[in-house]
């Protein structure tokens, strides 16, 4: 069924918006989609530039280019099954990303959009300003990543690398492995830490493992084979972040 024009938008424009669900078109146009009340609220409060915006109701902080649409119209351009509140087409940031802070996340082959979005949100929660991704991690601006980040993607820079040697590693690189030292054991003090989290299926690869100075693990007390990458990231960050803040010596609780 062909789409009807939407409040001044041509069929080609509607097709263009929908095409941003695919990485090749996002990369080509340097645009991505943000949807939903929470994500758009974070977008409106950020420095990201908005190309187009369509809302079910106009709010005080809505951008000047916002267009009022009805539910049926929103469904024609949305990438969600049950769209609500509104949708924005957003310019990808062009400014250089910040240098890593004293606590820095590196992701190796994270392929699940929900995991990457949740990890971005965790980084935001713990005050990290940057994440570096290696080995074909899922695209930062995949709609499911943006959605899962709940707007944290507008505060945490995510940089993708083809090879590990281009990552700006901090002085001590700590990798999460199944056979590492318990996270409750002491670690060397350092001016900055890079925490490496491996992909859902293969963990940390050989190339990235070569950069790790120390292997750590979350002690298993039950029978589960493994932890979700985002869950593991949250547990380890909660143990590591106080270290660079000088709140403890990373010894046993």
Measured from the Cβ of residue 5, the count of other Cβ atoms closer than 10 Å reads 12
Q: What is the pLDDT of residue 7?
A: 57
Q: What is the pLDDT of residue 182?
A: 95
Q: What is the pLDDT of residue 246?
A: 61
Q: What is the pLDDT of residue 226?
A: 84
Residue 200 half-sphere exposure, CB side, CA atoms within 13 Å? Answer: 14
Closest CA to 118 of 158, 81, 83, 89: 158
Q: What is the pLDDT of residue 65?
A: 83
Consecutive sets of 10 residues in the chain, 253 residues long: mean pLDDT of each?
Answer: 53 91 97 96 96 88 87 90 94 94 95 97 96 95 98 97 95 94 89 92 92 95 90 94 61 39
Q: What is the pLDDT of residue 9?
A: 65
Q: What are phi and psi of 159, to 5 degrees?
A: -115, 130
Q: What is the pLDDT of residue 253?
A: 33
Q: What is the pLDDT of residue 244?
A: 63
Q: What is the pLDDT of residue 8?
A: 55
Coil, helix or strand for 174?
strand
Task: Classify strands 103-108 and 86-91 as parallel, antiparallel or unpaired.
Answer: unpaired
Q: What is the pLDDT of residue 186?
A: 87
Q: What is the pLDDT of residue 209?
A: 96
Q: What is the pLDDT of residue 141?
A: 98
Tokens 């990552």 locate to 167
Q: What is the pLDDT of residue 230?
A: 96
Enclosing H/E stretch for 244? helix 229-245
| All domains of the chain in start order, with CATH | 11-91 (3.30.1330.30), 103-245 (3.40.1280.10)
């Amino acid at each position: 069924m062909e789409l009807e024009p939407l409040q001044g938008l041509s069929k080609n424009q509607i097709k263009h918006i929908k095409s941003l669900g695919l990485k090749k078109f996002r990369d080509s146009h340097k645009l991505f989609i943000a949807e939903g009340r929470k994500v758009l609220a974070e977008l409106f409060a950020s420095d990201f530039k908005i190309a187009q915006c369509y809302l079910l109701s106009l709010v005080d902080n809505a951008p000047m280019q916002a267009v009022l649409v009805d539910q049926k119209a929103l469904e024609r351009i949305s990438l969600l099954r049950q769209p609500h509140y509104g949708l924005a087409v957003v310019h990808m940031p062009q400014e250089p990303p910040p240098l890593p802070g004293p606590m820095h996340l590196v992701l190796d082959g994270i392929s699940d959009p929900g995991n990457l979005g949740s990890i971005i949100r965790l980084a935001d929660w713990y005050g990290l300003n940057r994440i570096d991704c290696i080995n074909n991690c899922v695209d930062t601006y995949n709609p499911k990543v943006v959605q899962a980040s709940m707007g944290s993607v507008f505060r945490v820079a995510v940089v993708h690398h083809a090879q590990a040697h281009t990552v700006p590693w901090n002085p001590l690189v700590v990798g999460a492995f199944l056979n590492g030292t318990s996270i409750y054991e002491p670690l060397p003090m350092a001016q900055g830490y890079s925490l490496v989290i491996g992909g859902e299926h293969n963990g940390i690869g050989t190339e990235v493992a070569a950069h790790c100075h120390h292997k750590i693990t979350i002690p298993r007390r039950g029978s589960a084979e493994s932890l979700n990458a985002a869950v593991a990231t949250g547990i380890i960050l909660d143990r590591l972040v106080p270290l660079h803040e000088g709140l403890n010596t990373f010894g046993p609780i």
